Structure 1
Amino acid sequence: MTWTSVSTVRIALLDDHAVVRYGFARRLAEEPDFQVVGIFATSRELMASLRTTPADLLIIDYALGSNDIDGLNLIRVLKVRFPRCKILVSSSHYNPATVALAMKAGARGFVGKSQELSELIQAVRVVSVGRVHLSGFMAGELDAMMTAGAAAALRSDSLSEHAALSPREREVLRCCLDGMTVTEIAEKFARSVKTISGQKQSAFRKLGVRNDNELFKIQHQIDDL
């Protein structure tokens, strides 16, 4: 596909890893119609800059530092405060459950950090003109997941009525649904990775699910997580 541009795309980058954000910035700067207007390590820095330096498109990490806002709520906040900015997520949390949550919250595209930089460039071009970008593989995974979720919705019983989840198991599941890893959850609550892993697996057994994707499929059946 040949891309033509009528104006420069102003891009702001947010990632808590310096190597990633500066590597992205260098590659984006090679495109004549891209202008990187800011490179940030925290969401606070990004939002402070956006008040005075407009950006057309934001490339954000989904899982920032332990003291920063989580990716899902960051997308929601950005959509409210800066509604004209299009959001593209680039994250190592590249699985159907996390991608679906991000897109539902308002992201217009999602690129895994294991993908080639050419995929990021293509995603920027697609999202900047108001379209949605997902790889063919991920789009297929989401279609399959949503189909399975629709079938599960036909069940009238609420899983949480039978699961008897403990308060700590519930908070671990909430974090899982926000796309956080076991290590990140452990840091957030100052518990050991072993403890968090045990609570997660216990909750999975009670709910009858085997992995994060299956958890996401039944999210609508879990009362007040």
Structure 2
Amino acid sequence: MNRTGPTPLRIALLDDHTVVRHALLELLGEAPDFRVVGAFASSRELMAALRTAPAELLLVDFVLAPGDIDGLNLIRVLSTRFPDSKILVVSGHYNPATIALALRAGARGFVGKNQPLSDIVGAIRTVARGHTYLNPALKVEFSYLLSDAAVQDDTAAVAVSDVEQDAFIGLSPREREVLQCCLNGLSVTQIAEKYGRSVKTISTQKHAAFRKLGIRNDNELFKMHRQVGLS
């Protein structure tokens, strides 16, 4: 809902890094129009708390600890289970494609962790008013990307489970894992951080998978994704 009264905005935080959570708690605690109702290290903790202590805005990291739900699937689950909560994504590494997919999945804004902390406060207020927040420096590039049919098509941002279809049988388990993350909107750098591998290793696995599938880029991966009916 859009805010019209003086009641502080109820905010819940999700980030698996303790230092980040504490920094955000300190930052948001200084704003009289904010009230942080919880700060959580895992999606399970967040969702359990939201059932009894709802929040109007969820400030969530895009890439969480290995084994936790994150990326586009996290956004979709939160949007489905808590439709009254607006989602603002925070990420240390991001690109226009990731942002576009996150917004398609249900996020109301995207903030880079390399932006000034004051930008997060402004982004929260923007989203709380019912608007979408984007880093002004990305707006031109983002608008160009949204003209791409592969990103504009809603089916390019569907949830992805294990990659088990016949077309992917020739891939190694790690190649499948990398492609699944790509389909969930994660960049090579984000995948490397998630699984504790080098960027070079992830890039090599991604391109090896592309060669085996006979595709050349992410757009062709999304098109194959739709054609084989991954879900």
TM-score by length of 1: 0.80
Q: Name segments (4+ residues, structure 1) moved above 4 Å.
A: 150-153, 184-187, 191-195
Letter in 1 for 2:203: S
- Measured after TM superposition, the shift of residue 35 of structure 1 is 0.5
Equivalenced residues, count: 204
The question of 1:183 aligning with 2:192 is answered: yes
Unaligned runs of 5+ in 1: 154-163, 210-214
Which residue in 2 is equivalent to 1:140? 140
Unaligned runs of 5+ in 2: 154-166
Which residue in 2 is equivalent to 1:120? 120
Query: CA–CA distance in 1 between the matches of 2:79 and 2:57?
Result: 12
The question of 1:208 aligning with 2:216 is answered: yes
Letter in 2 for 1:104: R
Which residue in 2 is equivalent to 1:197? 203
Letter in 2 for 1:167: L
SS in 2 for 1:174: helix
Q: Is the 8 A contact 2:11 2:38 kept in 1?
A: yes
Judged with a 3 Å threshold, the aligned counterparts in structure 2 of structure 1 residues 202 and 167 are, in CA distance, closer, same or farther, namely closer
Query: CA–CA distance in 2 between the matches of 1:80 and 1:151?
Result: 21
Task: Give the root-mean-square deviation of aligned CA atoms.
Answer: 2.8
Query: CA–CA distance in 1 between the matches of 2:151 and 2:131?
Result: 28
Judged with a 3 Å threshold, the aligned counterparts in structure 2 of structure 1 residues 193 and 94 are, in CA distance, closer, same or farther, namely closer
Query: CA–CA distance in 1 between the matches of 2:201 and 2:130?
Result: 43
SS in 2 for 1:167: coil
Q: Is the 8 A contact 1:66 1:184 kept in 2?
A: no
Alignment of 1:20-31 (within 5 A): 20-31=20-31
Judged with a 3 Å threshold, the aligned counterparts in structure 2 of structure 1 residues 150 and 14 are, in CA distance, closer, same or farther, namely closer
Q: Is the 8 A contact 1:60 1:88 kept in 2?
A: yes
The question of 1:110 aligning with 2:110 is answered: yes
- Measured after TM superposition, the shift of residue 177 of structure 1 is 3.0
Alignment of 1:35-74 (within 5 A): 35-74=35-74
SS in 1 for 2:147: helix
